[in-house]
């Protein structure tokens, strides 16, 4: 016959207490420190890692992210800090953190200029003018000379009734040396349908046809002849 040995309850309780004490001690070690390293990752709006971003802590330069968007801030004091992420082509990000645990990992999301422009275009397609304007303002802060951003701003101004402002922006795109068919067609639309200047519209349609062979646009040009 087998003999079953029961473990006294006092021993089980002591073991549980010891395990709890070990956990508490580990937590204490993680949370009680003066300075430690803080690891983190920077990613964009598509959840892709953002490589080459500079991490500034409390206004001082810090590490740059690696190819996987990861970084380590070494010897960081426990407590509150202001962290700023800067990278060309991206909207700067500034946030306040509380570094209170050695096991913390800092995840930071930044928006690229391309992402802001794409979202602005989608907002315009949905006729959400307020959202489109806000996104364009953010994109323009990152790259005010970007022709795509200027074109979308011109489209926004046209829909807002500011034809003169739209023409000015479209002319600036052409003055930069970029011969984009959509710009010529947009100018033709404004002059023909909104300003009633058929002669100027015909000129831009001819510029468009020099780049794109479109029977529809050619027929439209024929219709503008006196």
pLDDT of residue 7: 52
Q: What is the dihedral of CA 36, 37, 42, 48, to 10 degrees?
A: -130
Q: 133-150, pLDDT tens digit by residue?
A: 999 999 999 999 999 999
Strands 35-43 and 105-109: parallel
User: What is the structure's pLDDT at 34?
Assistant: 87
- 159-180 pLDDT, tens per residue? 999 999 999 999 999 999 999 9
Average pLDDT for the chain: 89
The beta strands (E) that lie in the chain are given as 35-43, 54-57, 70-77, 79-86, 93-99, 105-109
Band (226; pLDDT cuts 50, 70, 90):
confident
Q: How many CA atoms lie within 13 A of 171 on its CB side?
A: 9
pLDDT at residue 20 in the model: 54
Is residue 115's pLDDT more than 70?
yes
Give the percent of the chain with pLDDT over 70: 86
pTM summary value? 0.79
Could you give the domains of the chain?
A: 33-109 (2.60.40.1120), 113-224 (1.25.40.10)
- Residue range 183-205, pLDDT digits in tens: 999 999 999 999 999 999 999 99
């Amino acid at each position: 016959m087998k003999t079953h040995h029961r473990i006294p309850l006092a021993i089980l309780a002591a073991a549980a207490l010891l395990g709890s004490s070990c956990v508490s001690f580990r937590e204490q070690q993680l949370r009680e420190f003066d300075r430690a390293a803080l690891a983190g990752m920077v990613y964009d709006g598509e959840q892709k890692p953002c490589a080459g971003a500079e991490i500034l802590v409390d206004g001082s330069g810090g590490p740059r992210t690696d190819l996987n968007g990861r970084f380590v801030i070494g010897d960081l004091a426990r407590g509150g800090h202001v962290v700023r992420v800067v990278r060309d082509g991206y909207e700067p990000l500034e946030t306040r953190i509380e570094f209170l645990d050695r096991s913390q990992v800092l995840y930071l999301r930044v928006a690229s200029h391309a992402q802001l422009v794409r979202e602005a275009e989608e907002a315009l397609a949905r006729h959400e003018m307020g959202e489109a304007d806000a996104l364009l303002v953010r994109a323009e802060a990152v790259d005010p000379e970007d022709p795509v951003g200027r074109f979308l701003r011109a489209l926004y101004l046209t829909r807002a009734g500011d034809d003169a402002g739209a023409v000015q922006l479209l002319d600036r795109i052409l003055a930069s040396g970029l011969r984009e068919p959509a710009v010529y067609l947009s100018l033709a639309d404004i002059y023909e349908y909104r300003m009633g200047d058929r002669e100027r519209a015909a000129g831009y349609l001819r510029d468009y046809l020099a780049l794109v062979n479109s029977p529809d646009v050619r027929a439209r040009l024929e219709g503008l002849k006196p």
